[in-house]
Structure 1
Amino acid sequence: MDTAPPPVHPGLPVRYFDGRSSRPREVQAALADGQLHLTGPDVDRVVEARRVQWPERTRRGPRIAQLPGGGSIQTDDAAAWDAWVRGAGHGESVVVRLQQSWRGVLVSLFLLVAVTAAGYVWGLPWAARAVADRFPDGVEQQIGDTVLDQVDDFVKPSQLSAQEQQAIEQAWQQALRAHTAAQAARGVVVRPSRLLIRHSEDIGPNALALPGGTMLLTDDMARLLQHDTDVIAGVLAHELGHVQHRHGVRMLVQVGVLGFVTSTLWGDYSGVLATVPLWLGQAHYSREAEREADAYSVTVLRDAGLSPAVMTRLFERFALFKRCGDEVLKPAPAGSASACKTEPGTGADDDDEEKHGFWGLGFASHPADEDRIAFFRDAAR
């Protein structure tokens, strides 16, 4: 029995460029059995259809198919081309079909937004944690030193007396030694840290941890807490939690990734790189990082024989500071119960919080005060 030749679908007149000459030649293009046939005056060429770079279907514009070796076939009759391709059974990709459907475009846009949001909320923190766990200590220390140099523009040497500074340092070192010993018994190494006490008129009562283990405590924080070394130890335990979990490096990774994306979109890498160290010193940690630091501070306080409930005094004093402002940082006159005469809701205005910045222990990114107070009270039971 004779085998019938494969059917050749109706041809389409196209312009053929052979890749060597700029002169087009009118030929007939036909598709059959996975091959593209080009026939015309002085032209008889067969090309495997899979080797042709077929154009995507668009609403307007010519159709140009790139041939192997640099040639091409072209036509301005887009409708005729599309009908010819479909008649030959040459299917379109899913992407092309979606591009031609408004429903497909909407679905694609929704998926893009969903994937981007998921990457920002879950993917980026996960990646930052993974990178931070493998970040070289020496590089982290260099970053911390850079940030400290820039932070030093806002702070000055402590104005507390030598006895006040010594009392804070001794109380903290005692708590740190007890915690380090307890962690060693658990098989956990406490990352190195150092405490610096500084005076600042810009950031108010605060404490913050920098990459590399440097922890800053402001004079105003000590004054706000009335030099209660147990509460100050709790504040520093919270900052040690940031050091232990390497939150500074995590945030740096996240800022770097976001900065790279931003500079890819807008084409300005230098501005992003130049501002990362200062931004890192000023930015707030995420709520998740703050909860991790709170949980770590509970462990430190327990190891030091202190009740986590001492941290509730921190929030009481901050609430008073938010109402009364700098008055609570001044020693109360002899025989006076309080130097603050302001009633709740009538004291320092909303600009006061912005003025002091609330770095580190700032409330802008922390969980609600009530939740944190409840957490420390529960931990004390």
Structure 2
Amino acid sequence: MPSVAATYYDGIVSRRQTVEVSLHPQGLAIFSQDGLVAATWPYADIRRIEGFRGSGLAVTRVPEPGSTAEPRLEIADPVFVAELSARAPLTLTGKAAGRRETRSVVIWAMAAVVSLLGLAYWGLPAIAGRIAPLVPASVEARLGAAMDPQIRAEFGGPSGMKTCTAPAGLAALAELVGRYEKLANLHVSLKVVVVDNPMVNAFALPGGYIYLMRGLIQRARSPDEVAGVLGHEIGHVKFRHGLQSAIQSGGLGFLLGTIFGDFAGGTAILLASRTLLSSAFSRDAEREADAFGVDLMLKGGGNPEGLAGFFGSAGGGGAPGALNWLTSHPASAEREAAIRRLAQNRPVLSPALTPDQWQALRGICQTTS
């Protein structure tokens, strides 16, 4: 049958694409506006997206091995939909485990809807703090995976974001992250990378994504300073501060998308990603992350004096217009003193890194990819 127009999201960036789709013996073909084949989906891999409220049908495909993309195709033509339904199984996404998760999501979503009524009285910031702990870890992980490409595009420019990959440096970082992650008892796994960028900066996304900039490692005077910043960012992951910020910045529509786990094509993903780069967490969130970072260092290795000392050494030094760590994590003499009080009379059990590991981490950007 002839091709028809459809709406396509590739699952990597949030840009909506108008495409043409047609049915072939080998599967469903998706053509870009210039006539090139954007994708081919075998019929056996096509799944219906539950809960689609538009006209026609919304489908996705079973992820290819090693891919985290969640593409989405919306087809309005009823004749084409009928033909596709005759060739593809169109079972629901998620299978049994997904359906169990959906049932659990419905339960907490009902509670979340009640909380949403408080918007008229307390506003979205207060509601975000109440909603974030209710969001399943799997939904937060999908949100982080949707935001990660936006962050990479933001820092990469035309050539794409480069991460630092010198083997010895990666090994030193992985050993430190592994120690801290084991003690942190997180709801998501950590995904920590060093970005080849001169900014003196570090930040965390929802879902366990943490980015350390080359400029921060080069500016640090000791491994304790880098370990302190890492512990602090893990604290933001632990307490889901990034998720709260994303809900606040994205507005009510993004909040509902978070509740139901539907991020495909949402322009709010881009806005929420940029907000996390340019705004500061609340004072309470920063104190919470500070305290968690101190405790993590004292249990997993490192001297919290490094975290306190970094406040006095990290100002400036980034690329023109770039954020440094103190811009998004505002420092004060009060916080420095609080960190030292938290560590007072608690012995430092072990160094954050050995001298060899520290030198390896300092050279992690000798190779990039």
Q: TM-score, normalised by structure 1?
A: 0.49
One-letter amino acid of the counterpart of residue 143, structure 1: L
- Select the structure of larger CA radius of gyration: 1
Q: Does structure 1 residue 308 correspond to structure 2 residue 304?
A: yes
Aligned to 2:327: 364
For each residue in 1:45-89, what CA deviation from the matched residue of structure 2 results, as whole angstroms up to 9, or x when unmatched?
Answer: xxxxxxxxxxxxxxxxxxxxxxxxxxxxxxxxxxxxxxxxxxxxx
From the superposition, tell whether residues 190 and 297 of structure 1 become closer, same or farther in structure 2 (CA, over 3 Å).
farther
Name 2:286's counterpart in structure 1: 290
What is the distance in 2 between the residues matched to 1:121 and 1:294? 31
Q: Does 1:212 align with 2:178?
A: no
CA distance in 1, matches of 2:254, 2:189: 31
Alignment-derived partner of residue 150 in structure 2: 150
Shift of 1:305: 4.2
* 1:246 match: 240
2:278 and 2:285 map into 1 onto residues whose CA distance is: 13
Matches of 1:163 and 1:366 in 2, distance apart?
Answer: 29
The 1-side partners of 2:120 and 2:172 are apart by 43
Q: Map residues 1-381 of structure 1 onto 2, 5 A cutoff.
A: 123-153=123-153, 154-155=155-156, 156-159=161-164, 161-177=166-182, 179-180=183-184, 191-201=188-198, 204-226=199-221, 228-257=222-251, 273=268, 275-284=270-279, 285-319=281-315, 322=316, 325=317, 355-358=321-324, 362-364=325-327, 366-381=329-344
CA apart distance, 1:252: 1.9
Structure 1 residue runs of 5 or longer lacking an equivalent are 1-117, 184-188, 262-269, 327-351
Give the Å deviation of 1:212: 0.6
Residues 308 and 377, structure 1, Cα contact 8 Å, conserved in 2:
yes
**What is the identity, as a one-letter code, of the residue corresponding to 1:193?**
L
Cα–Cα, structure 1 residues 122 and 368, in superposed 2: closer, same or farther, change >3 Å? farther
**Per-residue CA distance 1:95-140 (angstroms, 9 max, x = gap):** xxxxxxxxxxxxxxxxxxxxxxx97996533311221111122221
Equivalent-residue separation in structure 1 for 2:311 and 2:140 (angstroms): 31
More relative contact order in 1 or in 2 (CA 8 Å, sep 6+)?
Answer: 2
Go from structure 1 to structure 2 and tell me whether the alpha carbon gap of 1:313 and 1:259 turns closer, same or farther (over 3 Å shift): same
What code does the residue aligned with 2:336 have?
A: I
Tell me, in whole angstroms, the C-alpha distance in 2 between the residues paired with 1:172 and 1:199: 19
Give the CA deviation at 1:231.
Answer: 2.1
Q: TM-score, normalized by length of structure 2?
A: 0.50
Corresponding residue SS for 1:195: strand
2: CA distance, partners of 1:121 / 1:369: 32
Cα distance per residue 1:286-328 (max 9 Å; x no partner):
2222221111111211212433222123123214xx3xx36xx
- 1:126–1:164: structure 2 CA closer, same or farther, 3 Å change rule? same
- Residue identity matched to 1:237: G
| 1:149 CA drift (Å) | 0.0
TM superposition shift of 1:198: 1.4
Paired with 2:217 and 2:120, the residues of 1 have a C-alpha distance of: 37
SS of the residue corresponding to residue 326 of structure 2 reads coil
Deviations 1:192-225 (A, max 9, x none): 2221111125xx0211111111111111111111
Q: Over the residues paired in the alignment, what is the CA RMSD in angstroms?
A: 3.1
Three-state SS of the structure 2 residue aligned to 1:149 is: helix
Q: Judging changes above 3 Å, is the alpha-carbon distance between structure 1 residues 206 and 367 closer, same or farther for their aligned structure 2 residues?
A: closer
Shift in Å at residue 141 of structure 1?
1.4
- State the Cα deviation string for residues 169-212 of structure 1 (Å, max 9, x = none): 222323333x24xx6xxxxx5542221111125xx021111111
* Equivalent position amino acid for 1:356 in 2: A
Q: Is the 8 A contact 1:259 1:272 kept in 2?
A: no
Q: Distance in 2 between matches of 1:134 and 1:271?
A: 21
Amino acid at match of 1:219: R
Distance 1:145 1:281, change over 3 A: farther
Tell whether the 8 Å contact from 1:211 to 1:246 is kept in structure 2 after alignment.
yes
> In 2, distance between residues paired with 1:190 and 1:161?
29
Aligned-partner residue type, residue 164 of structure 1: G
Q: Does the 8 Å contact 2:140/2:243 carry over to 1? A: yes
Give yes or no for contact 2:311–2:326 (8 Å, CA) kept in 1: no
* Count of residue pairs brought into register by the alignment: 212
CA contact (8 A) 2:208 2:237 kept: yes
CA apart distance, 1:257: 3.1
